[in-house]
Structure 1
């Protein structure tokens, strides 16, 4: 895949979605893809903090009985590499649905108050909360970049036993987002290169 050059705005917000310990439980989720996702998310968080750009951390508080992401479960906590990178300027949003725009505090209001118009969306799961947040952001008029290799997901079974692998679901997300003009799908390397001083 050939990438066009990208520009990262000085106030571009990095949205890190649901990087929680509960997603490390394969007995609950099944097979995952992209083992490099966490390393890429960490590199993006470091680049954002080093450049003084805003970081938004989103955490899912599941209402589903027995969920490993429920607020009273150990899996609700951020993975250690995220918790260790929490900055004083980071915004923490808690949500109970797929879109990060339906959480507390209100993400749209926070972005509008700072005049932020560009979002880089990362996290878990690619085809669930990452895609939903990116689609909604695109509909709301934000410029959205999704470094797909800074996300991951799990195999999923749908209607009449149809199962798609995590890689197939990630590919579908890439096509949905870019083909539908919701977001530009990019790589972590391209984003990092664009955040370096000239």
Structure 2
């Protein structure tokens, strides 16, 4: 009888890890790191709990793997925008719009970041990949800003990291604090009209900063 090829076993292992990561992402997003339970992750994944420990070590390592996957997903989606091929002004508009819609479509991203910030980024500090993951985004935005400067459209001396933090912040704060903001101001800030107004405002805000 011929020996079993290792390829199917590798594919099964990859599939199992992806299923576990997906289930873990849902669990951590719903309950936070502190409230998440490995037993429930195993139930969500319909997999033996021992496999979770086999592939990911412990709960801390699993949470870090989820965070790294979350960042890898958004960074890959940003790279797919090809901002370096756009007019610089349009590139800034597109980055703001993309960030806004990504947060809207992936509420788990905000939930996971909230949880990790509560823990003072103690898991991300253990990552040897996270800074490398974010470097292409910084380089891409720096290239857009430099082209805009050379075309006499953008101001000199704009820090791409500061700009990205500002874009992420104005998107993140509005959504993560929407229940309290809506209550305090007596306005439903999640209606389609309110969301469209917010996006328009954020684009104007960012362009008002970068344009000469």
**Bucket of the pairwise TM-score, normalised by the shorter protein:** under 0.3
TM-score (norm 2): 0.24
* Higher helix proportion: 2
Instruction: Judging by fraction of residues, say which structure has more strand.
Output: 1
- Of structures 1 and 2, the one scoring higher in RCO (CA 8 A, sep 6+) is 1
Larger Rg: 2
